[in-house]
A = this chain, B = another copy of it.
Amino acid sequence: MAMTLDDDQWIHEFFMGGNQSSGPFNSDKSDENKEPLDIESMSQNVEKEEETLVNKKQCEGGVTSESGNLNVKNDKGKDINCRISSHEKHARAERERRKKMRSMLDSLQDLIPHLAYKVDSVTIVEETVKHIEYLKQTLEKLKLQKKEKLKSFSEAFTSDQRPFSLNSQMVTSNALAFQQMWFSQNVTFNICGDEAQFCIYTTKKPSLLTTIFYVMEKHKIDVIHANILCNNNAKSCMIQAHVSFKFNSHFIVHFVFLYYTSTCGVI
Contacts and interface: CB of A to CB of B under 8 A. Distances in A.
A183 to B, nearest CB: 23
Interface string A204-248: 101111100110110000111111111010100100000010000
A8 B6 CA distance: 13
Given A107-B129, A135-B132, A209 B223 contact: yes
A256 B129 CA distance: 46
B210 A222 contact: no
Contacts of A104: 122, 125-126, 129
What is the copy number of this chain in the assembly?
A: 2
A128 interface: yes
A29 to B, nearest CB: 15
A108 interface: yes
A234 B228 contact: no
A37 interface: no
Interface string A102-135: 0011011001100000000110011011011101
Interface stretch (A136-144, A163-171, A174-182, A258-266): A136-144
A97 B126 CA distance: 13
A250 interface: no
A146 interface: yes
Contacts of A105: 125
Contacts of A125: 101, 104-105, 108, 125
Contacts of A237: 223
A100 interface: yes
A152 to B, nearest CB: 10
Contacts of A93: none
A225 B230 contact: yes
Given A128-B108, A206-B217, A209-B213, A228 B230 contact: no
A132 B139 contact: no
Given A105-B125, A228-B228, 18 more contacts: A2-B5, A5-B8, A100-B122, A101-B121, A104-B122, A104-B126, A111-B136, A135-B139, A139-B139, A142-B143, A204-B222, A207-B214, A209-B213, A222-B230, A224-B232, A227-B227, A232-B244, A234-B244
17 contacts: A101-B121, A104-B122, A104-B125, A108-B132, A111-B129, A111-B132, A125-B125, A135-B139, A139-B142, A142-B146, A207-B214, A209-B213, A210-B217, A224-B229, A224-B232, A224-B234, A227-B228
